[in-house]
Amino acid sequence: MDTSGARTGGSLEGILVADFSRALAGPLATMLLGDLGADVIKVERKGIGDESRAWGPFAGGDSSYFLSVNRNKRSLDLDLVDEGDRLAAQELARRADVVVENFRPGVMDAFGLGYDAVIRTNPSVIYCSISAFGTGTGAQHPGFDFLLQAVGGLMSVTGTETGGPTKVGVPVVDVVGGLYATIGILSALREREVTGLGQRVETNLLSSVLAMLTNQSSAFLTTGNIPRRAGNAHPGLAPYELFPTADGDIALAVGNDRQFTELCLVLGRPELSADVRFQGNAARTDHRVALRDELIQALAHDTAVHWIARLETRRVPCGRVNDIAEAIALAEQLGLEPTVTVSRETGHAIPQISNPLRLSRTPITYRSAPPRLGEHSASLLEWLGQDRPGG
């Protein structure tokens, strides 16, 4: 990667982020800002910290969940019921370029940290609120990713036709919500460069999951038909699912007629591409079951490795079903540098999945490992003018 003229501090160097969020959506957003160079101060509940610190599995006393979204941050533990700690939090919000919170609507207002209070003393602040169901009639409903996958429709299209609804294997709604929050914050920062004024950025997890459903939600809006579970099959492409071979499954993702013709040639079944039932994606989708039967018969004659090697030479998208270790190994093999190690001051090295962005002039930086609870409280409180007794 050419980094000539690169700025070592990152594109958001000099941006101060007051992170009052916890769990996943908010912390993911603030970690991404930190990766881009922002100074992120993570405000945590005194003595308890971010709830995700207690979520397993654990490694060396650390929650792997917490570690996944909290690098490049300093931890400030506060009790917002305490007047001194509350004043410190308010002063932090006054100095911040960005405030991020994902409390239930109204909680931050109770501590003098809501948008209306902060904007009075800090009119240039970007104030991002992430909620589960918005700030209207759903404001008081708590929400976790699993619940949002259920009520947001994602489970209804995830799983097999004959089985029950199932969640995606990662908290994908939180992840998407955090990404939308990051986009909103970056957009507001850019607008502030023009006007000098801050603004409120809001997103919610229900809207995020509906947007994430993309082609499925669009299919309902345009046709009136409600999408259903279809296992690994694609609702509008074929063949586009898992197929068994002589020794294991492979994923075929055929997206156009050229790829389908090449697939048929590799399998020694060129007549399939000339079959009227399979000419064009619409026809293949209509005759998905018959096509699947034909392909299963052809693939049964050899191994997954054999077919993948041959199909890749003809640029037919295909691959094994990797576990996470195998997926990381594949990325390493391709030179994608999927992992990074970030060390604490104690020398303890913490492995992390690297940020997928590659920026030629303002590269991603990994300056500090996920902090211990209250690790930076003493110095930060002194900076905020609220020294803690005995600290």
Is 127 within 8 Å of 118 (Cβ atoms)? yes
Q: Which structural domains are found in the chain, ordered by start?
A: 16-213+337-383 (3.40.50.10540), 240-328 (3.30.1540.10)
Q: What is the largest CA-CA distance in the chain?
A: 82
Give the closest residue to 311 by CA, choosing from 293, 296, 299. Answer: 299
**Alpha helices (runs of H) in the chain, residue ranges in sequence order:** 25-35, 64-67, 83-95, 107-110, 115-121, 145-151, 172-195, 205-212, 214-223, 257-266, 271-274, 281-286, 288-299, 304-313, 324-333, 377-383
273-324 per-position pLDDT tens digit: 999 999 999 999 999 999 999 999 999 999 999 999 999 999 999 999 999 9
Under 8 Å CB-to-CB from 316, ≥6 apart: which residues?
252, 254, 259, 262, 263, 266
Give the closest residue to 97 by CA, choosing from 22, 214, 25, 201. Answer: 201
Angle among Cα 8, 12, 18 to the nearest 5 degrees reads 125
Q: Which residue has the tokens 């006054």?
A: 94
At 140 the pLDDT is: 83
CB atoms within 10 A of CB 127: 26
Structure tokens given for 32: 């991404």
At 387 the pLDDT is: 72
Is 127 within 8 Å of 26 (Cβ atoms)? no
Under 8 Å CB-to-CB from 359, ≥6 apart: which residues?
11
Asked if the bond preceding 57 is cis, omega within 30° of 0, the reply is: yes
Is 118 within 8 Å of 99 (Cβ atoms)? yes
38-49 per-position pLDDT tens digit: 999 999 999 999
The 3-state DSSP class for residue 191 equals helix
Mean pLDDT by runs of 10 across the 391 residues of the chain is 55 98 97 98 97 93 96 97 96 98 93 97 98 90 92 96 93 98 98 97 97 96 95 93 96 97 97 96 96 97 96 97 96 97 83 96 95 96 80 48
Asked if the bond preceding 356 is cis, omega within 30° of 0, the reply is: no
Beta bridge partners of 244: 249
At 3 the pLDDT is: 42
- Phi, psi at residue 376, to the nearest 5°? -115, 15
**Strand order across the beta sheet in which 249-253 lies:** 240-244, 249-253, 318-319
Catalytic residues: 174
